[in-house]
Amino acid sequence: MSTSHNPMAVVVGVNGSASALQAVRWATRVALRDSVPVRLVHAYQLPLDYPSRALVRESMLDRAREEGRRWIARAREVATENEPHPPIEVVFRAGPASRLLLRESASASVVVLGTRGLSALTGLLVGCTTVAVAGQADCPVVVVRGAGVDEAPNDSGPVVLGVDLNHVNDSAIDYAFSEAAAGGGELVAVHAWVESLLDAADVDQIEGVDLEEHRHRALEALTECLSGWQEKYPGVRVRHEVVHDRPGRALRGFSHGAQLVVVARRPHDAFRSLVLGSTSMYLLHHALCPIAVIRNGP
């Protein structure tokens, strides 16, 4: 089952969970704001270790398809519960969810996901599909966190941007400024530097480092880094924060009351499973609002 594609649609993963419905709500709001469709995506399959008897497998696939259709129908209800609402597209296919979502990311403005699926067997706070897509998608990925089951995701408060001054990601900066311009005009740019300090100085000499001087230099560098972006987005009010803390913990603190936290994704290398760094992984599990993970470059 599929409908015609708009190349700029907001793609949202549907898996029957309450967190996925929250993702649908977030995606619908953004799609309506940007005048693009919402694309509801669901993939169904059987576990690899399921019995191989053909009749049993076909019966279970029929059940999986029917269950998936119910989940898509419920997601459509949520996407259209308010008027006006954006156009709705549907992609419904057999196969691994991460593979289908990654393929859809090539023709999407953003992929929006909940934190986990229905199964609690793994005990994970964030599902493996969410981690895989956030680490490899061709477009920004937003993981919707923070809202209760029956609450709409927060659409007020600032956009928080994590900035690594050693590896500046222009795509993440642009996305954060764009979201801030569309959502109230306030951006909090955060550089947390305890790790870079430990890299730059011998551990035995930390006590001799002038932390305030280091903070002052970092604040100047952060301000300079974003000055051109403030010219591009003159309506965005920017607050610069330099924090002596680990990046994930610092950004989690700023996520309280924020509408979105934006972080850069580690560049691809030979180890595909490691493209999400420790900061992104920490925030996927612990942020108090939605988190956007942004790849660098087109």
Quick: pLDDT tens for 101-129.
Answer: 999 999 999 999 998 654 443 334 457 88
Residue where a domain stops, chosen among 117, 143, 169: 143
Please check whether residue 149 lies inside any domain of the structure: no
How confident is the model at residue 274, as a pLDDT? 45
- Determine what percent of the chain falls in helix, strand and coil, rounding each to the nearest 5: 45, 20, 40
Same domain, 164 and 288: yes
Residue where a domain stops, chosen among 116, 143, 170: 143
Same domain, 289 and 163: yes
Please check whether residue 4 lies inside any domain of the structure: no
Region 158-183: mean pLDDT is 95
Helix (H, G, I), strand (E, B) or coil at 167: coil
Helices (H) and strands (E) in the chain, counts: 9, 10
**Tokens representing 22?**
């929250």
Residue 19 reports pLDDT greater than 80: yes
Same domain, 125 and 227: no
What total number of domains does the chain contain?
Answer: 2
Residue 260 reports pLDDT greater than 70: yes
Same domain, 222 and 125: no
Strand 237-243 with 260-264, pairing: unpaired
**Tokens representing 148?**
């209760």
Same domain, 271 and 178: yes
Least confident among 91-100, 145-154, 212-221: 145-154
Residue where a domain stops, chosen among 88, 108, 143: 143
The fraction of the chain above a pLDDT of 70, given in percent, is 78
Please check whether residue 66 lies inside any domain of the structure: yes
DSSP 205: G
How confident is the model at residue 120, as a pLDDT? 41
- The pLDDT tens digits of the residues spanning 199-258 come to 444 434 455 557 788 889 999 999 999 999 999 999 999 999 999 899 999 999 999 999
Same domain, 90 and 193: no
Domain of residue 23, CATH code: 3.40.50.620
How confident is the model at residue 147, as a pLDDT? 61
How confident is the model at residue 200, as a pLDDT? 44
Please check whether residue 220 lies inside any domain of the structure: yes
Same domain, 138 and 172: no
Q: What's the CA gap between 243 and 98, in Å, rounded?
A: 35
Same domain, 124 and 194: no
Same domain, 237 and 112: no
- The pLDDT tens digits of the residues spanning 25-61 come to 999 999 999 999 999 999 988 655 555 555 555 677 8
Task: Note whether 173 and 162 are within 8 A (CB).
Answer: no
Please check whether residue 150 lies inside any domain of the structure: no
Same domain, 17 and 53: yes
Please check whether residue 175 lies inside any domain of the structure: yes
Please check whether residue 151 lies inside any domain of the structure: no
Same domain, 170 and 286: yes
Sheet holding 159-162: strands in order across? Answer: 88-94, 38-44, 9-13, 108-113, 141-143, 291-294, 260-264, 159-162, 186-192, 237-243
Of 65, 81, 82, 8, give the one whose Cα is nearest residue 38: 8
Q: What's the CA gap between 264 and 186, in Å, rounded?
A: 19
How confident is the model at residue 48, as a pLDDT? 52
How confident is the model at residue 152, as a pLDDT? 67
Please check whether residue 217 lies inside any domain of the structure: yes
How confident is the model at residue 74, as a pLDDT? 97
Q: Is the dihedral of CA 233, 237, 243, 245 positive or negative?
A: negative
Domain of residue 215, CATH code: 3.40.50.12370
**Tokens representing 129?**
């599909």
How confident is the model at residue 221, as a pLDDT? 96
How confident is the model at residue 45, as a pLDDT? 81
The average confidence (pLDDT) of the chain is 84
Residue ranges making up the domain that contains 61 = 9-143
Least confident among 15-24, 117-126, 265-274: 117-126
